[in-house]
A and B are shown apart, each in its own frame.
Chain A
Amino acid sequence: MDLKKIIVDASEDQIEDFRSKNQRRIETFILDLWEKYQQNPDPVEIDQAQVIDLADDGDDRQCGEYQPNDPGNPDELGNPDEINVNETEMQKQGASERPQYDAIDLQIKSRHIALPNGKVNQNYDIHFDIEKIIPEISGIKFEGLDQAGLQFVPETKKITGMPRAAGDYKIKMYCRRHDWEEGKPTIEREITLIINPDPRSLWVDLPTPENIEYYKPDCNREFIKVEASETVAAKDMVAASKRGRSHAHEGKPRDDDFMLHFDDGSGWYVMAVADGAGSARYSREGSRIACRTAVDTCITEITNRRETFEKQIRTFSNVRSEENRKQAGDTLYHIIGTAAFKSHKDIEKEAVDKGNPVKDYATTLILSICKKFDFGWFVGAFWVGDGGIGIYIKEPPFLKVLGEADGGEFAGQTRFLTMTEIVQPMELYRRLRFDIVDDFTALILMTDGVTDPKFETDANLNRIEKWHDFWSNLSQEVDFSDDNENSAEQLLKWLDFWSPGNHDDRTIAILF
């Protein structure tokens, strides 16, 4: 018997009889038709199944039938199923004890009605106008919406509210036919509503046990105020470091570190940030030693070579020749190169003393020395590993990234200070950068916990638009006016920014 024909031409009694015997089969049939329609709306003729298209109120969220979003290529469709259904076969399979339902009831039951998923503490507001799709019904009521913190307003046909608890809520929808009268059944349909937890609430913050080897506080910040005087500039230094959520979630220590120093006597600024490798057992100590030794060595070497070095810088500033560049560069190599080399050696010594492999202490290092002269600012830098360092001027726009990130998709594996090949003279030299600029808005050193979410790729780290965004984002929370002691606390707070999928330790040091 032709099912299509039955639905269209038969009397109501016949339909009732046929349907009650073949309930399941018909549901399947309608669903199949519906799915075919979804995939390929034009060629399939559908008599009974209408398109559900619940209009939304300018909101992106829609409710209605589950929609396989794929428009579907015709070649992906299976052969259209035969519409003719063998009645005896259906009776064999589908005889059902279910009560007699109204035809509308079947239509509602067999439809895939879904409510968009919600999220805890996020306003839920959708338009639910099923009467527009199935005009024969009215008097929509819900049961169970209140458990999810939601309500249905029949006048506006909206489901709104603020879900407070996550879960899979079983909602019952009731409606009735227009010609419903006392004694006739109402139609009932269960709908599952999913309320997702706020991902932020799922992250736990377990303090790092203080009795572990190489314990390090879960966060740190520092502000170094430099008083303005005739010879010394008034730029201050601020830094903050915060354990990532992924470490906090498991009670693991912070692997990042930083160190700041201003040498009153000479007017030199020294800054370092380091990121201990996530996979290395004692990288937190590696990053600590790297920063400490690098900064200490820079101070010592600057003191030893100050007169020569500053004269070379001045000469280079006057005549920016290759020869003058090389001379200043060579002295910079003796200062920063030595600092990087000694850091490597100190880490190696610690590893040997404790009987651990050096790679257990793997860390990156970004190091910078800086001084204000009457002709401008000298900035020198050394960088191994990921993260980033740059001189940024907001107006007129200027950016100089002081090196290249190791790692990322294109450069292969991340390099660490702890690798022997990194501390070979040529390799150390290659990683040095310096420049002289009149002034700058900020010199920023940061680990990949900051650069990954804020710049995403190495290429973006070289785009000034990204730095503009970054600086404006930073300035909204951190007050970079001169001598602001609160900037350390503000910077630490800023480090807590939310970025899905980016929960690494974050460290940033700024000279401003």
Chain B
Amino acid sequence: MRRLPVYLVLDTSGSMTGEPIEAVKNGVQVLVSSLRQDPYALETAFLSVITFNSAANQIVPLTELSMFQMPDIQASGTTSLGDALSLLSRKMDTEVTKTTAEQKGDWKPLVFIMTDGEPTDDWKKGLTEFQKRKFGMVVACAAGQGANTGILKQITEVVVQLDTADSATIKAFFKWVSASVSTGSQKIEASGKEVSGLNELPPPPPEVNIVV
């Protein structure tokens, strides 16, 4: 079966402590429970969670949506965005099946990166690794005003910004992510192609601003 891998790459640095991290946890939970109601997603979407603070860590390996269990997420430390990109690249190599003559591989992964601050590590090194792989749609989200959208723009064309990192806004973002995954899994079913641009995703809610 061709899986649609979805990677959530989440900043869990110290600055996310309190309301933001609780909102992220809640957001992931809402995302999973709404995708479970979508037959397209339930059959094809596989979900992984990578968190990054002083180092990046894959806290949920690529898991079938129906088997996904909410991990424990806590905020502390610095913002190793570069390490997160490196880890994501390595996980893509090991977890995502490539197409061969005998087997149709997985669809290109959908990636959602969320951060609220400036990277504190050598992010360009991670970016180089990241750019060597062919990911599908990559959406970077600057949560609040502290994130550097300029750097995110170098990772992906699709950058969105949340005005504030409060729970209502973060929740809105995750709802949009959920709708985007639904759209992505429907599109591969209907046309055999992955989503390739922001215009193919559902329109973001008012809390989620597109950075041009």
Could you tell me which A residues sit within 8 Å of B by CB distance?
A: 28, 31, 39, 66, 68-70, 72, 76-79, 112, 114, 116-117, 119, 166, 168, 192, 194, 196-197, 199, 202-203, 245-246, 249, 278-279, 408-410, 456-460, 499-504
* Contact residue among B66, B72, B191 (Cβ-Cβ distance under 8 Å from A196): B66
Which of B36, B77, B105 has the most chain A CB within a 10 Å cutoff? B36
Give, as a whole number of angstroms, the nearest-CB distance from A193 to chain B: 10
Give, as a whole number of angstroms, the nearest-CB distance from A123 to chain B: 15
Q: A79-B54, A199-B43, A457-B102 are in contact. Are A68 and B59 (CB under 8 A)?
A: yes
Q: A70-B58, A78-B55, A202-B37 are in contact. Are A459 and B101 (CB under 8 A)?
A: yes
Residue of A with least CB distance to B65 = A196
Q: A196-B42, A501-B189 are in contact. Are A457 and B101 (CB under 8 A)?
A: yes
Contact (Cβ within 8 A) A278 B72: no
* Contact residue among A77, A78, A249, A409 (Cβ-Cβ distance under 8 Å from B99): A409
Q: Which of B169-206 contact A (CB under 8 A)?
A: 186, 189-192
- B3 contacts across to A, CB distance below 8 A: 501
Residue of A with least CB distance to B43 = A500
- A192 contacts across to B, CB distance below 8 A: 70
B104 at the interface (CB under 8 A from A): yes
Residue of A with least CB distance to B188 = A501
Contact (Cβ within 8 A) B42 A278: no
* Contact residue among A28, A77, A249, A457 (Cβ-Cβ distance under 8 Å from B74): A28
Give, as a whole number of angstroms, the nearest-CB distance from B32 to chain A: 9
Residue of B with least CB distance to A386 = B192
* Closest A-B pairs by Cβ, 8 of them: A459-B101, A202-B39, A78-B55, A500-B43, A196-B66, A409-B99, A501-B44, A69-B61
Interface size on B, residues (CB 8 A): 43
For the complex, give the distance between the alpha carbons of A203 and B43 in Å. Answer: 11
- B57 contacts across to A, CB distance below 8 A: 39, 68, 72, 76-78
* 6 sample A-B contacts, Cβ–Cβ < 8 Å, listed by A number: A70-B61, A76-B56, A112-B72, A456-B103, A501-B189, A502-B1
B71 at the interface (CB under 8 A from A): yes
Contact (Cβ within 8 A) B67 A278: no
- A501 contacts across to B, CB distance below 8 A: 1-3, 43-44, 189
Contact (Cβ within 8 A) B104 A456: yes
1/0 contact string of B120-137 vs chain A (CB within 8 Å): 000000000000000000
Contact (Cβ within 8 A) A31 B55: no
Q: Which of B60-111 contact A (CB under 8 A)?
A: 60-61, 66-72, 74, 77, 87, 99-105
- A78 contacts across to B, CB distance below 8 A: 53-55, 57, 77
- B87 contacts across to A, CB distance below 8 A: 76
- B101 contacts across to A, CB distance below 8 A: 410, 457-459
- B71 contacts across to A, CB distance below 8 A: 66, 68
B19 at the interface (CB under 8 A from A): no
Q: A202-B39, A202-B42, A278-B190 are in contact. Are A457 and B54 (CB under 8 A)?
A: no
B33 at the interface (CB under 8 A from A): yes
Give, as a whole number of angstroms, the nearest-CB distance from A505 to chain B: 11
- B66 contacts across to A, CB distance below 8 A: 117, 119, 196
For the complex, give the distance between the alpha carbons of A452 and B44 in Å. Answer: 15
For the complex, give the distance between the alpha carbons of A197 and B37 in Å. Answer: 7
* Contact residue among B104, B105, B191 (Cβ-Cβ distance under 8 Å from A278): B191
- A408 contacts across to B, CB distance below 8 A: 104
* Contact residue among B42, B60, B69 (Cβ-Cβ distance under 8 Å from A199): B42
Which of A76, A246, A249, A501 has the most chain B CB within a 10 Å cutoff? A501
1/0 contact string of B150-168 vs chain A (CB within 8 Å): 0000000000000000000
- A458 contacts across to B, CB distance below 8 A: 101
Given contacts A76-B56, A459-B101, 15 further A-B contacts (CB under 8 A): A68-B57, A77-B55, A78-B53, A78-B54, A196-B66, A197-B36, A199-B43, A202-B37, A203-B39, A246-B189, A278-B192, A409-B99, A457-B101, A501-B43, A501-B189
For the complex, give the distance between the alpha carbons of A409 and B77 in Å. Answer: 43
Q: Which of B21-67 contact A (CB under 8 A)?
A: 33, 36-40, 42-44, 53-61, 66-67
For the complex, give the distance between the alpha carbons of A79 and B54 in Å. Answer: 8
For the complex, give the distance between the alpha carbons of A31 and B73 in Å. Answer: 10
Contact (Cβ within 8 A) B38 A202: yes
Residue of B with least CB distance to A71 = B61
- A39 contacts across to B, CB distance below 8 A: 57
For the complex, give the distance between the alpha carbons of A308 and B53 in Å. Answer: 79
For the complex, give the distance between the alpha carbons of A409 and B61 in Å. Answer: 27
Residue of B with least CB distance to A73 = B90
